[in-house]
Amino acid sequence: MSVNNLHARAGFFRRLAAMVYDALVAIAVGMCAALIIIVVLTVLIEMDVLSKQGYQHVSELLQSSLIYKVVIQVWVAFWVISFFLWFWKNGGQTIGMRAWRLRIFNLEEKKTIGYPRLLVRLISSLGGLGTLLVLFDIKYKQSLQDRLAKTEVLVLSKLENDHKSW
């Protein structure tokens, strides 16, 4: 049952469509983040601020060095995670959720959802697999991440989805 009785909880296929949309945006965010860190590392290595460690080309160093690989992956993960957390915190919708008129609401109280609970929501989504629970939870339409973070995803009307009504 929804805390907000005016809206229905989102079903699996609407959530899936928003997830596909958001995955495309998250990939683009990740690619831009990777481009930035690789350019910065390349400049620092070519200017001898960081050592080439005996490699002739920077690309060889970046591909073979575990440290550089980890730095790049952590940087990209930070930006992708930040994308989701920032959009959920500021408006309750990612770009894909906005396109499909979905919004995250707090089940416990009327306040906004804090970053710690949003991080729990993101981690417990298991890369989207937590949403499969909606298929089996016909009565409540709650995903794993919604249950653990005490949130719900509701379908908004076209008027409510307009940013001017926030």
**117 domain-assigned:** yes
The count of structural domains within the chain is: 1
**99 domain-assigned:** yes
Rounded to 5°, the CA angle 38-44-45 comes to 85
Residues, the chain: 166
Q: What is the pLDDT of residues 128-146, one digit of tens each?
A: 999 999 999 989 999 999 9
- pLDDT of 5: 67
Task: Report the chain's terminal Cα–Cα distance, integer Å.
Answer: 23
Parent domain of 96:
12-165
**90 domain-assigned:** yes
Residue 109 has pLDDT above 90, yes or no: no
**1 domain-assigned:** no
- The rounded percent of the chain whose pLDDT value lies above 70 is 94
**7 domain-assigned:** no
**146 domain-assigned:** yes
Q: What is the pLDDT of residues 12-24, one digit of tens each?
A: 999 999 999 999 9
- pLDDT of 132: 95
**125 domain-assigned:** yes
